[in-house]
Amino acid sequence: MEPPTSSRLNSRKRRKDGVGPNGATELDGIPPKISRRSFGLREPAPFSDEVEIDYSKPYIRVTYEEALRGTPVDRPVRVYADGIFDLFHSGHARALMQAKNLFPNTYLIVGVCSDELTHNFKGFTVMNENERYDAVQHCRYVDEVVRNAPWTLTPEFLAEHRIDFVAHDDIPYSSAGSDDVYKHIKEAGMFAPTQRTEGISTSDIITRIVRDYDVYARRNLQRGYTAKELNVSFINEKKYHLQERVDKVKKRVKDVEEKSKEFVQKVEEKSIDLIQKWEEKSREFIGNFLEMFGPEGALKHMLKEGKGRMLQAISPKQSPSSSPTHDRSPSPSFRWPFSTKTPPSSPANRSRNESAVTYDISEDEED
């Protein structure tokens, strides 16, 4: 019977979008902080043929329940995980981390298939077997590495390495004429499922490189690789160099456009400031003009005051009533021709006219 998935499995998945630090998603939450100390090992994991096994002790498998409860320190649960591990990436590391954390006391053995098996059953690899062995050796979760691991696990292999459980994702792996190469492991109750990391795989990485082949070819040509090393033809090499020059020109044009946009933006800002200042000054000028020359401006009041002063200076001053009166010599009055009467006068001048008439009569009497 297949054992249930352990709650200790690290089920974090990394998606293509919305990925946080170290591939964590929003569902993972924020991990608790730990004290600063060294967790990494100082040496890579050894190969299986370099590890000495005590065959004097009998090989007795532990059950899934016993493994979950915990085993003695000198009897860890031996978990096996195998794979190609080409272009070793974070998805591989996460799978091995889950296998390492299946049980409280786990000894993780990782099998890496050789180039011959991989090329026959799966396809060509980017890294050769020695590079893949070395990459797995330096994963911090690995305790032991099996070189030239078998494609299908046999009972003899499981007994030789004293394996208790086999860790792999539970998706059926069809290969070598079988619908699932782990079917007999699952039937034996030795299968411990892990979860794949979404959005990252060796095939995805190769697809990215193939999709952007021209970009990476040009990149490596710039870094000093020759066309022969990159398996690039003479025509393609010249094409890449031409594209590189065109891209440089485009970049320069783009830089000039950005600088011109910044310049235009600065000019617009300055023009807006000048217009605002001009409006403020014009309003101030108009206000001052109206204050000086308007209907009720200061100039009108100044003219009124000047006119009043001029009239006051021109008009004769009346003597006060308390001052002594001076006798005036009578002035001859004007007579209308052929008439002894004086012309009509205003009421204000009647008193003066009466005195003038009296004066005229007195002169006739003397004559």
pLDDT at 359: 44
pLDDT surpasses 50 at 309 = yes
pLDDT at 156: 94
Tokens of residue 118, six digits:
């991989």
Tokens of residue 15, six digits:
């998606």
Please state the separation of Cα 77 from the chain's center in Å. 47
pLDDT surpasses 70 at 92 = yes
Q: What average pLDDT does range 296-310 have in this prediction?
A: 76
Cβ atoms of residues 193 and 170 within 8 Å: yes
Cβ atoms of residues 340 and 357 within 8 Å: no
d(CA 143, CA 100): 9
Q: Which of these ranges, 70-79, 123-132, 323-332, has the smallest mean pLDDT?
A: 323-332
Task: Convert 286-295 to b/e letters by CB count within 10 Å (16 or more is b).
Answer: eeeeeeeeee
Task: Convert 251-281 to b/e letters by CB count within 10 Å (16 or more is b).
Answer: eeeeeeeeeeeeeeeeeeeeeeeeeeeeeee
Mean pLDDT of the chain: 80
Is pLDDT larger for residue 328 or for residue 126?
Answer: 126
This prediction has a pTM of 0.60
d(CA 190, CA 132): 26
**pLDDT tens by residue, 118-168:** 999 999 999 999 999 999 999 999 999 999 999 999 999 999 999 999 999
Is pLDDT larger for residue 362 or for residue 40?
Answer: 40
Cβ atoms of residues 128 and 85 within 8 Å: no
Q: What average pLDDT does range 207-214 have in this prediction?
A: 90
Residue 346 pLDDT grade (very low, low, confident, very high; cuts 50, 70, 90): low
Residue 30 pLDDT grade (very low, low, confident, very high; cuts 50, 70, 90): low
Residue 233 pLDDT grade (very low, low, confident, very high; cuts 50, 70, 90): confident
d(CA 64, CA 210): 44
d(CA 261, CA 305): 61
Nearest one of 243, 209, 211 to 86, comparing CA atoms? 209
**pLDDT tens by residue, 248-285:** 888 889 889 888 888 888 888 888 888 888 888 888 88
Fold classification of 48-188 (topology level): Rossmann fold (3.40.50)
Where along the chain do its domains lie? 48-188, 202-256+263-306
